[in-house]
Every structure is written in C-alpha cells, then in structure tokens.
Structure 1
Amino acid sequence: MAPIQNARVLFNSVPEKFPMPGGTTVYDTTQTIDLKTVPLDGGFLIKTLILSVDQYFRNRMRKPEKKSFVPPFELGASISGYGVGRVLRSENSAVEVGKYVYGPEMLHQEYAVMKELGPATVLEKHPDLPWTVYVGAAGMPGQTAFTGWKEYSDAKPGEVAFVTTGAGPVGSMVIQLAKQAGLKVIASAGSEEKVKFMQSLGADVVFNYKTMDTREVLAKEGPIDIFWDNVGGDILDAAIEHAAIKARFLECGSSSGYNNGHTPIKNMSMVSQKTLHIHGILVFQLLPKYYKEFYGTIPAKLASEEIKYNEEVTNGLDKVEDVILAVQKGTNRAKAVVVVAEE
C-alpha cells in the first residue's frame, strides 16, 4: 500500500493572549503514513475519528519551563487531547483490531501509533449514542461533573447551588445532578441561546452574566450553599460574598483568566469568616473511584434523555484551529467536538 496523507495540527508558537489559527497552531498536510508497514513496536495503530476541543488547551499552550497540572504542548509537534479512535492494527494483546480507544492524549492527526494504552481505555459504545457524546457528556466533561459532584457537593434537598458556564458540557451536567438532588439551581452563561438551554435543563434561575449583574442575582436568590466554579475571577469573588455559612466551593476552572490574565480575589478573608469549604477538582484524580459507576449509569441516562446534553459538531481536522479559538472566546454554542473521519 502506498503512503497516504496524515494531516496534523501542530503547535507552532506560544500565544500571548488568544490562540490564533495559523500562528499558535498550524494545519499541516506534509506528513505521510503507510498504514500496512508503519512500525508498531508493540503498540497499535489508530484511525482518529472524534476529537474534543476544551478550555484547558490554553493552559497547555505555554513554555515548557512553566509548570502546571498538565504537560505543555511540544512546539513543532501535534497537539493532543481527548478523542476516540478505531484500532486498525495491533501488536498489543490488550487492544484488539476493530476496537475503539478513548483517552486524553489522542494526537490531532488522522492516524497515530500509540505505544500503550496508558490513561486511555477501550470503550464499548451504547447503541443509542453517537461517538461524539463520548468526548462530552459521556467523556471527560461529564466525568468531571459527576465525580466532582459526588465527591465534594454534600448536597442536601432545599439547598441553593450556583453553576457558572451552565450551558457547557460540565455545567449542564452539574445543573441536572443538582436538580436530581432536590436543590434550587442558579445558573449563568454568556448568551441568550445558552440561557434558554439552561432553562430546558430545569435550572430555577438563569441569567446572562454579560447583561445582568451577578451580585444582584445572588443577593436576590441566594445565599448559595454550593458553588460550581468554571470561570474564577470576579464571579468567584461575588460567590464568596453571597455564600452561606459552610458553603462548598467546587473549583473546576478559571476560564476568565486563561487569555487575559487572572483577576486577584478580593474576598479571601470571607473564606474563614464564613468557614467555606473549597475543593479543587481534577477528574483524573477522582475517576478511578467512580469509573464503574459513571459508565454503568450515565451513558444509559443520556440515551434515554433522563440527562440532556448539547454539542456543536464541526467536520474536518482542518477546522480544529478555528474551534480552539471559538472555545477560548466562548463563541461556541455547545460542547465543541470535531469529527475527523467516519469509521
């Protein structure tokens, strides 16, 4: 078999603010691959089907000497993230040809040789769900919401929860978990379309944080017992200000500072005054504890629509750069998913 194109999305330069297509990343079609003869060295060859584009990509677009909870992208190499691929060839007894692999280090290229599974896993798809859902509500974002809520919320019926980025794949799951637990839910997002989606999920109070004052909403609808934070910055300050005594703060992200610098928190003295409980959430630390429960319940609930989800699917590896920018600017309408190829 003659070599064929193996297009890639390369990390080209460290951005100062927003990651720009053609600058921060580059779509490259110069690499080729022979699917029948490429050495596997005990690993396996996958065809990339689905890729997730997530907020945390911005954290990986940094200089290698800057430390963080995830490794940086390597300049000149393919970027990577959560994705689904089908196994074409294998020299690994744990990974059979024809199976589907899901994991956090799927290269953004059409084909890739993986040396071992590592943190990846072989998945069986629910018959009534598309593979796209497995990088969203049935993947890392859903896992983050499920495990973080189970581990730290200590939710009690009648309490008040405030969820930021409530139309996103993590926030939307949290809204529904909170409603199922009998809580009053306040939720915010950055567009009227997203506000309507949060309403459809059952959130009791929804608002566009760009057109309404968060503090005014919380003063009227709080105090809040549980805060699920995806944005940080001034909204985190507002949540501390309007928190109930012994409220639980579930710190999942701080997207407001990813591209424009982080806003210092002014209300930290209230943490002790209100005896707040603050928990950082990293899904890979929590997932081993809840892995079986998550996959044993969530895909079926998504398929039956007991839990709702929303996704924005873009076709083509060459569109990854544009999707990354949309996610960082918040102009994407739902969970960002890129379909690289059909099976």
Structure 2
Amino acid sequence: MKHLTPDHWARHYADGTTFRPLDDTERRLLARHAPAPEDGRALDVGCGLGELAQQLARSGYQVDAVDFVATALDRARTDHRDHLESPGVDYRVHDIERDDPAELPHDAYDLIVFRLSWAFVHDRTRVLNRLRERLRPGGVLCVITPVVAAVPEDRRHIALDEAEIDLLRAGWTATERHDADGLAVLFLRDPREPDLARPACADKGRPSPHALTGAGVVVTDAGGRVLLGWSVRGVWELPGGKNDAGEDFRATAVRELAEETGLVAEVADARLAALLMDSVHGIPRMTAAVRVTAHTGRPVVTEPHLIRRWEWHDVADLADLAQPLFTPSAHVIDTIWPGVLPAVPPVHRYPIAPTEAPDPGSP
C-alpha cells in the first residue's frame, strides 16, 4: 500500500484532477440499501470533491463531509456553490486516522460512507472500530472500492483484494456485497458483539526446521497504540523474528524492527521483559518479550511476501480482533499488558526483573 501524503493530495486537487464519477448503479444501490431515515445523518469520509455528499443530501440525509485536504473541500464548495445555501452538507477538514473522533461534528450517524478512499486508510482496524461505535442502531457502514481484479497492476494500491474485503466484512453480523462495474459496494450492518469465547490466537503452519528462538517486539506510537502486522497467513502479529547466531534478544528486536517496519531504535531503548516457552508442531519455541520504548520513522511494508501492512492498534481493541493473533505475539502482549487479552494459550513465562521505571505505554 502506497503512503500518499497530504501534500500529494493537495497537488492532486490543485491540478484539477478528478476521480471516477458517481454512476447510476451506485446511486440505485445506495437508495435501495441505505435510504435516509427521518432526520437521517450521514458521514462521508474522504469526501473529495463532494459529489457523493451532495447525492446523499438530495436523498434526504444531513451530511458531514470530511477530508484531510483543505484543497479538496475548497473545490467542493466551488463546484457546488449553488447548494451552499442548503443545510444539507457541512464540509469539514478532518483526518479520520490521526484526528480525535470526538472532533467529528456529530456523535452518531445512520450512514458512514467511504467511496474510493478505504484503500488509502493505513490503520483500518482501528479506524473501523472507532467509526462503528458511532453508528446509530440500525445504521450502516458502506465501502465503495475498486477491486484488484478490475484494475491494472500499477494501480493495485487503489484497490482491495478478496482477502482485504473478507477482513473488512469479518466484524459484522450482516454484510452485503454488490458490483458496480468493477467497484465492490459493501453494506455492513450490526457490528458483532465481543465474543470472549472465540479463539483469539492461531499459528501459521509448520515452521521450517530451526532452533526456534527469537524476539517479539512491542512498540507503541505517541498515543499508546501498539504496532501489528497483517500477515499473508491470516493472523495479526508483532514485529520480530528469529535471532542470528550470537545475537542477544534485544539486538534481535531492534534489528527485526528495522528490517520489517523501517522503524529505527537503539538497543539501549529495548527492554527484555520475559522469556516465553511453548511448542509448535512438537518443536520447542522460545520467544523473548521485548518492549522498545523509543523509535524514529514511520512503519512501512518491507517484506510484502510476509506482511501485507502495518497498523497501529488501540490496546483495548486487541481482545476482540476479527482475526486471530499469532500465538507468540499474544504471549508477548500478555506479558507487557497482563489481562488485556481474555485468554491466551499456555506458555512457560520467565519474567526478567526490570531495571527501569514502569512501562510508560501501559493502557
């Protein structure tokens, strides 16, 4: 997934570039599956030039149209100046990933829509969790997205593949998918209630022969969110990996963090919290739980054959991920934040006496 900055999008809109227009199929699907209730309120995320927001307003919604690029909203107001006297659309600058959800204009919505924008969201799980908390009872979240099979290879970054679509649908009781000439139109209803009995951990298959020793790395951002990678094998996992011969666990953690995510840390900022021993397919496995307390850089996917993307997750959400945690990662998280996960598989834990102050990233 490409990292496109606000400056990129500002130039995009300033140059007069547009997106695929809203078509009649999309309009019919929205009217049929997400009609405006009385006093209905909609949130258009990544509204761009405001075409969808105006369509929703004409269908009866009061619309909060948000985008993180002011240039887009300036063009939207200009393009739709004939409608500025109408109370139907309120354009706001808001970064759905980085700004506080409390800064959204309203607390709850009957419809939340991402049109052609979901593929550009990096921390999708966290964003989805926070937005579905703002759906009114009976509300619907709609994602309209290109699909990988319908775009050229050099434009795959704007689209979702089937695995990503399945992940998006996993946390909902009722989901519908429709086609609009190469776009998938998804309607998601009734967020699934937390199920503490649901398996929260899984392994990724039989490992290659190896003395299974390595490190799992807990690193958090300024908001206390923990970094997890969405694996090509269908589990969430911490950064980390096997240690090289003669390499201590803290050095392994720092090296693997840099190699897998591009984040740079010093060994002095890596704290060994515990050694954890379990087994997989009859092979003993030793994992060092390492907490990195300072780093620089931004997470990027450097090994796409292993990790599809990196996301910052709110710690409180980890107990109810729609997909499982890699078992050693669950053991490490349970070591750093005891009790955050409702249940983890058995493990032999050998705590290391701390020599520093308590972890500042605890929730």
- Name the TM-score, length of structure 2 as normaliser: 0.32
Bigger relative contact order (CA 8 A; separation at least 6): 1
TM-score, length-normalised on structure 1?
A: 0.34
**Which has the higher Rg, Structure 1 or Structure 2?**
2
